[in-house]
Amino acid sequence: MIVTGDLHGHRRNFERVVAFADLGHHPETYVVFQEILHGGPEDEAGGCLSFKLFFDVLKYQLEFPGQVFLVMGNHDTAIIVDNDVMKAGKEMNVALKAAMRRSFGERYEANLAALRAYLLSQPVAVRFPNRIWMSHSLPADRFVDSFDMALFERKLLSGDMLRPEPLYKLTWGRRQSPEAIEKMARLLDVDYFVVGHQPQEQGWCVVGQRLIILASDHNHGCMITFDLSRTYELDELINQIVPLASIATES
């Protein structure tokens, strides 16, 4: 199993994940991506070109159906409902739509609608059989006790992306305390969480005894691998974190 942190348009790190996974020779390997859109290269007018990487990830998913998965992130929710979302001082939905309009011309509206429809179809979390849970984030401390767990049992609607709905709380939550993480672990009956969302200068960090935060969108980015057939102690799971810069690619 391979789980990445936020990619945010970082094509080189995507290529490294693909090279490491080598899915054509490893049909038993699975890859989970998150937060591909918003960030990375720009067009000549400053528009966000991350949609090109997103479409390449979808091609990868089509090439290896049942092995490649994408999980809902907060930037995805912002695209679905067209909410403002800032990154590096830029409103990313404006930048993304401008670049898509220039790229697709008359097909812009259809492609934007298709992008939003796909994003809405994504799972919001993955529960692995070895008691590891992966989602883009977790609710902030003040929302843990009241969090509506029914979110994980029903079909998503676009209204779920809005504040203060449960999906908004799940994908936008930050700075979880060890105590809140312990509560979520009991509620979900899991041992560990692997998330993204919170920037990590060195590529990863651990909060308390159950939460690993990954970032895959810069030169110190990381991913994590683990065997679905066995459980882990925290120190063992930390040893499974892979710096993406350590992976060789053909290009």
- Residue 85 and residue 77: Cα distance in Å, rounded? 10
pLDDT at 250: 76
Lowest mean pLDDT among 44-53, 104-113, 144-153: 144-153
3-state secondary structure 145-192: CCCCHHHHHCCCCHHHHCCCCHHHHHHHCCCCCHHHHHHHHHHHCCCE
In angstroms, rounded to a whole number, what is the distance separating the alpha carbons of residues 91 and 183?
34
CA distance 71 to 75: 11
Give me the pLDDT at residue 251, please.
Answer: 59
pTM > 0.85: yes
Question: d(Cα 247, Cα 235) in Å, to the nearest integer?
Answer: 22
238-247: Cβ within 8 A, 24+ apart: 238/206, 238/212, 241/203, 241/204, 241/212, 241/214, 242/20, 243/203, 244/13, 244/16, 244/17, 244/203, 244/216, 245/16, 245/219, 245/220, 245/221, 247/16, 247/17, 247/19, 247/20
Question: And the tokens for 104?
Answer: 């697709």
Average pLDDT over residues 217-242: 97
State what percent of residues in the chain have pLDDT above 70: 100
Q: Is the pLDDT of residue 184 over 90?
A: yes
DSSP state of 89: T
Q: Which residues sit opposite 173 in a β-bridge? A: none
125-127: strand order across its sheet: 125-127, 132-135, 192-195, 211-214, 204-207
Element (H, E) at 130: none
Report d(CA 148, CA 167) in Å as an integer: 9
When pLDDT is cut at 50, 70 and 90, the band that residue 87 belongs to is confident
Q: What is the pLDDT of residue 236?
A: 98
pLDDT digits (tens, 9 = 90+) for 15-44: 999 999 999 999 999 999 999 999 999 999
Q: What angle do CA 8, 135, 30 make, to 5 degrees?
A: 80
For residue 148, the one-letter residue type is: D
Which helix or strand (DSSP H or E) is residue 203 part of? none
User: What domains appear along the chain, each with residue ranges and CATH number?
Assistant: 2-246 (3.60.21.10)
Interatomic CA distance for residues 214 and 243, integer angstroms = 10
- pLDDT at residue 127 greater than cutoff 80: yes
Q: For the CA atoms of the chain, what is the radius of gyration?
A: 17
